[in-house]
Every structure is written in structure tokens, then in C-alpha cells.
């Protein structure tokens, strides 16, 4: 694939360099008129721009197939116009300086390279529109089905728990309840993911981290009364973000509490201001997140059929943070986990917005 890309993009560069040769040589001719020198210089400049376009094309994120389309437009511009000039010279014999012919071909090549880029941009826009439509359908169907199935399973599980005549049946029903609740939470995760995928134009607001941390910890404390929570956030600390930060931070805090099986489980929410960045971290003294889970989410290793992680939660946190121009990192060991959101620091005195539930 690299050879094919080099060949395709190289054809554009070679075309430009070849067309620049004659105008550049004309610049060295003694006695050339100022107009002739101007035309030669312009032709050489346009040809060299075409040559540079080939290099930029190779380094761009445009696929090799689309790069070949641009190269094809370039070739078309040179061949078609070149053929017309040859036929015209046979029909009406005349002498035209070679550098002027090169100038005309260089302009044609440049124009057709631009046409090629616009053509590829149009194709990419159509592909993105098609993908967006498919994602929207998937979003609606997947979330609707998850929500519906979770409600149905949970409803029947409730009936079984209440009507069970023995402990074994009752415990099985509670297990079903637990998994139904997980399906419900997965529905919320899917919602957050699709929001993150479509949040390129999301405007950043100033979020009070002190208020956010207090709210999240109170919610987690109600569900996990056996866990000791603490907050280390200086009053007035604020970041650039939005309402989805609540979901991201709540997931990290609840995850740290739920999977902490120590004798004295602790969870700490801390904010550290480092110039224009605020590090908002959630740490615990639990067993730590498995290496495979961390490496996939942080990008240290690729996703495979074997190495793919176990859930959506950490991905949701990562993508929400990235949507707010931040970064997400996870540190883990036998002594616990430290998950950190790095977000833009909001200056003191900025008007803060209240981050509420969805």
C-alpha cells in the first residue's frame, strides 16, 4: 500500500517538476524580454506548486484510493490539453515557445488537481453523511431495544422476587434484576457515546469543580454507605466543560466504590490546578483495573477479539473528556486505581454553570 501511494502521489510531483523544467531554463536565456521572464516565472511557480501538492497529498490523511482519483484528474488535465495543443499545431502550423506550452499545461494541471481535491471532498462529505445517518438509526434502535428489554426483564424479575417460595429462586431472580439494571446503565452509556460522537460543535462552559465533586460524591455515598469518600478540591476551582462531565465523574466514583472489596474501602476525588490545566482525579484503594482494560482504553494496545476490555464505562469517560478538549488517563496497581481527567482551567471569576443530570 505504501508503494502504491508513493507511486500515485509521486506522479503528481513528477508532472509538476517536468513542467517546471522548461520555464526555469527560459529564465536563464540572455536577452529575454521582461514579459517573457514574467511568463516563465509564473509558469515555473505554478508547476512547482503542483509538485508540492503531490508531496502534501502523500502526507495527508486522504486514502490512497482518493489520492489516485486526484492523480487521475491531474493526468487528465495534462493529457487532454496537451492533445488539443498538438492537434491545433497540426491544423494551423505555428511556432510557440516551448516554455509557453509548459506554462499552459502547468495551469491546466494545477486546475485539475484542485478539481480532484474538490471531488474527493465531495465524496468524503457524502460518506460522512451516510455514516451519520446509519449511526442515527443505530442509536435509536439500539437504545430503544436496550431500554425496552431491560424494562421487561426487570419487571418479570421483580415479580419473581416477590413470589419466590425458596431462597434459591429468590437469589436467581435478584441476579436477573442485577443484569437488567446493567442493561439499563448500558443504554445510558450508549446515549453518552452517541453524544460524544456528535459533539464537534459543543460549546464549552465554565463548570464549578467543587460543586460538581460534592454532588457526585453525595450520590455515590447514598448507594455505597460502607465506603469512605473524601473530597480534596479547593473552593472556586473551575474547568471548561459541560453537563456531561457529571456523567463521566459519577461513573468513575461509582466504579471505584462498587469494585472496592477492601476491608476499609476509600474513594478520593481531588483537583490539582497546573497553570492552564486542572487534573481532576478519582483514586481508590481497591484491587486496581486489569492491565488489559487500561491498555485498550488509553491506546497503549490495540483492540482485538481477545483484547477488547469488558465494558463501555471507561470509553464513555474518555470520549466525554475528549469532547471537552481534555484527556483521560488511568493509573493502576495492586494498591488501587487513579483515574485522571485533564481539562482546561477556567480563570477565577468566570461565571459558572450548574451541571445537572441528563
Q: Over the stretch 201-248, which tens digit does the pLDDT of each residue have?
A: 556 889 999 999 999 999 889 888 889 999 999 988 999 988 888 888
Rounded Cα gap, residues 127 and 118, in angstroms: 14
Q: Residue 268: left if φ>0, alpha if ψ -120 to 50, beta else—which one?
A: beta
Instruction: Kindly indicate the confidence band of residue 139, based on its pLDDT and cuts at 50, 70 and 90.
Output: low
Angle at 251 between CA 245 and CA 256, to 5 degrees: 130
Query: Comparing C-alpha atoms, which of 345, 287, 352, 282 is closest to residue 317?
Result: 282
Is residue 85 exposed (0-12), middle (13-18) or buried (19+ Cβ within 10 Å)?
middle
In a domain, 353, yes or no: no
Confidence (pTM): 0.53
Domain final residue pick, 198, 225, 244 = 198
How many domains does the chain divide into? 2
Q: What tens digit of pLDDT does each residue of 268-289 get?
A: 999 999 889 999 999 998 877 7
pLDDT of 306 reads 39
pLDDT (0 to 100) of residue 308? 38
pLDDT band for position 307 (cuts 50, 70, 90): very low
pLDDT at 304: 45
Q: Given this model, what pLDDT does residue 148 score?
A: 78
- Alpha helix positions (H), 164-208: 167-197
Q: At what angle do helices 2-26 and 64-91 cross, to 10 degrees?
A: 40
- Label residue 189 by pLDDT band (50, 70, 90): low
78 and 178 belong to one structural domain: yes
More confidently predicted of 106 and 184: 106
289 and 324 housed in the same domain = yes
Residue with cell 491498555: 295
pLDDT confidence bin for 184, thresholds 50/70/90: low
Give the tens place of pLDDT for each residue, 66-117: 999 999 999 999 999 999 988 888 888 777 888 999 999 999 999 999 999 9
In a domain, 354, yes or no: no
Looking at the DSSP assignment, which residues form a beta bridge with residue 281?
270, 340
pLDDT of residue 151: 80
Is there a domain that residue 356 lies in?
no
Sign for the pseudo-dihedral over CA of 324, 330, 331, 334 = positive
242 and 115 inside one domain: no
Q: Which strand (E) or helix (H) includes residue 340?
A: strand 336-344
Domain CATH code at residue 320: 3.30.565.10
Say whether 333 sits in a helix, a strand or coil. strand
pLDDT digits (tens, 9 = 90+) for 315-354: 888 888 888 889 988 876 556 888 899 999 987 655 555 5
| 33 plus 146 within the same structural domain | yes
Q: Where in the sequence is the domain holding 256, given as residue range(s)?
A: 205-344
Q: 472489596: which residue's cell?
A: 261
Given pLDDT bands bounded at 50, 70 and 90, which one contains residue 142?
low
Chosen domain end from 182, 198, 214: 198
Residues 114 and 55: their CA atoms lie apart, in Å, by: 15
Last residue within a domain, chosen from 181, 198, 215: 198
Amino acid at each position: 500500500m505504501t508503494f502504491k501511494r508513493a507511486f500515485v502521489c509521486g506522479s503528481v510531483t513528477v508532472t509538476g517538476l517536468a513542467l517546471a523544467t522548461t520555464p526555469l531554463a527560459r529564465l536563464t536565456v540572455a536577452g529575454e524580454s521582461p514579459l517573457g521572464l514574467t511568463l516563465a516565472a509564473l509558469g515555473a511557480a505554478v508547476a512547482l506548486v503542483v509538485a508540492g501538492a503531490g508531496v502534501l497529498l502523500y502526507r495527508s490523511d486522504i486514502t490512497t484510493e482518493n489520492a489516485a482519483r486526484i492523480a487521475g484528474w491531474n493526468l487528465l488535465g495534462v493529457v487532454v490539453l496537451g492533445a488539443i495543443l498538438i492537434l491545433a499545431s497540426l491544423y494551423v502550423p505555428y511556432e510557440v515557445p516551448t516554455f509557453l506550452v509548459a506554462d499552459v499545461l502547468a495551469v491546466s494541471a494545477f486546475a485539475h488537481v484542485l478539481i480532484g481535491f474538490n471531488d474527493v471532498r465531495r465524496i468524503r462529505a457524502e460518506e460522512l453523511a451516510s455514516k451519520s445517518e446509519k449511526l442515527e438509526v443505530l442509536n435509536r434502535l439500539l437504545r430503544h431495544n436496550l431500554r425496552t428489554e431491560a424494562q421487561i426483564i426487570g419487571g418479570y424479575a421483580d415479580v419473581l422476587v416477590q413470589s419466590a417460595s425458596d431462597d434459591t429462586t429468590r437469589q436467581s431472580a435478584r441476579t436477573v434484576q442485577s443484569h437488567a439494571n446493567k442493561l439499563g446503565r448500558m443504554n445510558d452509556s450508549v446515549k453518552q457515546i452517541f453524544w460524544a460522537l456528535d459533539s464537534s460543535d459543543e460549546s464549552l462552559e465554565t463548570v464549578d469543580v467543587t460543586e460538581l465533586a460534592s454532588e457526585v460524591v453525595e450520590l455515590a455515598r447514598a448507594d455505597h454507605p460502607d465506603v469512605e469518600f473524601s473530597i480534596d478540591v479547593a473552593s472556586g476551582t473551575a474547568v471548561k466543560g459541560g453537563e456531561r462531565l457529571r456523567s463521566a465523574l459519577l461513573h468513575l466514583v461509582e466504579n471505584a466504590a462498587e469494585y472496592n472489596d477492601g476491608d476499609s474501602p476509600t474513594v478520593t476525588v481531588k483537583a490539582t490546578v497546573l497553570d492552564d490545566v486542572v487534573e481532576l482525579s478519582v483514586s481508590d484503594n481497591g484491587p486496581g483495573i486489569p492491565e488489559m482494560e487500561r491498555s485498550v482504553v488509553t491506546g497503549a494496545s490495540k483492540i482485538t477479539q481477545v483484547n477488547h476490555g469488558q465494558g463501555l464505562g471507561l470509553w464513555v469517560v474518555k470520549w466525554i473528556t475528549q469532547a471537552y478538549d481534555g484527556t483521560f488517563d488511568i493509573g493502576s496497581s495492586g494498591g488501587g486505581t487513579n483515574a485522571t481527567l485533564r481539562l482546561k482551567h477556567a480563570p477565577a471569576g468566570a461565571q459558572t454553570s450548574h451541571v445537572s443530570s441528563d
